[in-house]
Amino acid sequence: MPENHEIQEKVDDHMRDDTFEDLFEHAPCGYVMTRPDGTFVRVNQTLLDWIGYSRDELLSGMSLLDLFPAPGKIFHETHYAPLLRMQGFVNEIAFELVCRDGHRLPIVLNTVQHTDASGTALLNRTTIFNSSQRRQYEREILLARKKAEQALRLRDQFLSLASHELKTPLTAILGNIQLLQRRIANATSVSDRDRRTVDIINSQTQRLNQMVLTLLDTSRIESGQLSILRASVDLHALINRIIDETRATLEGRKIHVEYVSEMVVIQGDELRLEQALQNLFQNAFKYSAVDRPVYVQIRKLATYVEVAITDQGIGIPQTAIPHLFDRYYRATNVEHGGVSGMGIGLYVVKEIIELHGGSVRVESREGQGSTFTVRLPM
């Protein structure tokens, strides 16, 4: 290893030899001096090495414009030259130069125009930066983005196709199970164990059906085909029905409801509203311990009504809140917590509520619980 003072001596020698002329000729960028019509007056070695022309060739009447391909010539006339005339300089304009062997060199150039006292242009000084690596990098990013978008499209196409294909046999299975349930309800020869088995098959198939329907809804949202049919909806009756259904599937879970004194009727799609609220109820139970109750509060305000569903569950990290209604998004605390889900329920809830002209918001504290509030116009 050379000593420090030896290195210093070499640096000093090098600096003595490194004249301004050398700096101009071998700078890590191209230097060009041109007349106002673009003809070359001076050009440094770096640029000559990049483009493969000799100095004599360039200085015998060639113009910077001769190095531009047709689109570059047009861009020069429409942008570069007017800008230079107007403000006396241009910065970071991307061009391509046609090299002597015909290949294109992507560059970025900066030009300063020198004028006399009366403002007449005398010559232009231009620095030229080789941006081939940057362009390559940009092209790679663009390609990666295209590939990612294509993968997302394929995923969506697959999910849409799969959910469509699954729906038909599932509907047939569900219909037949329910038929079987009705038949064995009165039969005396069926054991309790077999009855329970059929009940389990029925509830699990319904769950599966629900997932497939939600997947189908996400495809509909993506293609702008989710729509609602408006009619008068009695909100209290709707919430009672949801609670009854929830109680049937979540035995022993406690729900406290706070109604308003008068009847609340809104214009909306009853089935879609039921689906959205049911989803929020299911989440409230899913993400809280079995001994924790869920609170439902209905509030009637001047022009809208609110339904707030509060749980005392695991809560949501603050960083997750802005993404909660995104498709396939699941917060980190549930990803590691072993609660299964597809991360599309809230995406569909938001769409349904917004189709009604309403909104959904969430307040939550990790470890303490969450409140999802649906606001609907009256």
* Number of Cβ atoms within 10 Å of the Cβ of 157: 11
Size of site (CB under 6 A) for ligand ADP: 21
Q: Which is nearer to ligand ADP, 131 or 370 (CB)?
A: 370
Site for ligand ADP contains 221 (CB under 6 A):
no
Per CB under 6 A, the list member of 159, 313, 356, 376 interacting with ligand ADP is 313
Q: How many CA atoms lie within 13 A of 123 on its CB side?
A: 11
Question: According to CB under 6 A, which one of 170, 264, 344, 374 is a site residue for ligand ADP?
Answer: 344
- Shortest Å, Cβ 283 to ligand ADP: 4
Position among 212, 216, 287, 305 found at the interface with ligand ADP (CB under 6 A): 287
Which two tokens mark 68?
A: 């531009």
Q: Which residue is closest to ligand ADP by CB?
A: 341
Distance from C-alpha of 126 to C-alpha of 61, rounded to nearest angstrom: 17
Between 104 and 292, CB nearer to ligand ADP: 292
Token pair for residue 268? 């909306």
Of 46, 111, 219, 283, the residue at the interface with ligand ADP (CB under 6 A) is: 283
**Given candidates 47, 311, 350, 353, which one binds ligand ADP under the rule CB under 6 A?**
311
Phi-psi region of 343 (alpha: psi -120 to 50; beta: other; left: phi over 0): left
Token digits for 148? Answer: 């990612």
Report the residue from 268, 370, 375, 376 that binds ligand ADP according to the rule CB under 6 A.
370
Answer for which of 242, 314, 353, 376 binds ligand ADP (CB under 6 A) is 314
Stretch binding ligand ADP (CB under 6 A), from 53-61, 150-158, 298-306, 345-353: 345-353
Question: Under a CB-based contact definition with an 8 Å cutoff, are residues 258 and 295 in contact?
Answer: yes
Q: Do the beta carbons of residue 194 and residue 184 sit within 8 Å?
A: yes
End-to-end Cα spacing for the chain: 83
CB of 264: closest distance to ligand ADP in angstroms? 24
Q: Which of 76, 330, 350, 375 binds ligand ADP (CB under 6 A)?
A: 330
Q: Given candidates 266, 277, 331, 374, which one binds ligand ADP under the rule CB under 6 A?
A: 331
Dist CA 31 CA 52 (whole Å): 15
State which residue, 107 or 215, has the beta carbon closest to ligand ADP: 215
Shortest distance, CB of residue 207 to ligand ADP, whole angstroms?
A: 12
Of positions 107, 255, 324, 360, contacts ligand ADP by CB under 6 A: 324
Q: Out of 316, 352, 374, 376, which residue is the one contacting ligand ADP (CB under 6 A)? A: 316
> Among the candidate windows 13-21, 77-85, 263-271, 327-335, which touches ligand ADP by CB under 6 A?
327-335
Residue 368 phi/psi, 5° resolution?
-115, -35
Q: Which is nearer to ligand ADP, 315 or 358 (CB)?
A: 315
The answer to whether residue 343 forms part of the interface with ligand ADP (CB under 6 A) is yes
Starting at the edge strand that comes first in sequence, how are the strands of the sheet with 369-377 ordered?
255-258, 294-300, 304-311, 369-377, 359-365
Which one of residues 83, 184, 265, 342 is an interface residue with ligand ADP (CB under 6 A)? 342
Pick 68 or 372: Cβ nearer ligand ADP? 372
Residue 317 contacts ligand ADP per CB under 6 A? no
User: Which parts of this chain interact with ligand ADP (CB under 6 A)?
Assistant: 283-284, 287, 311, 313-316, 324, 329-331, 334, 341-347, 370
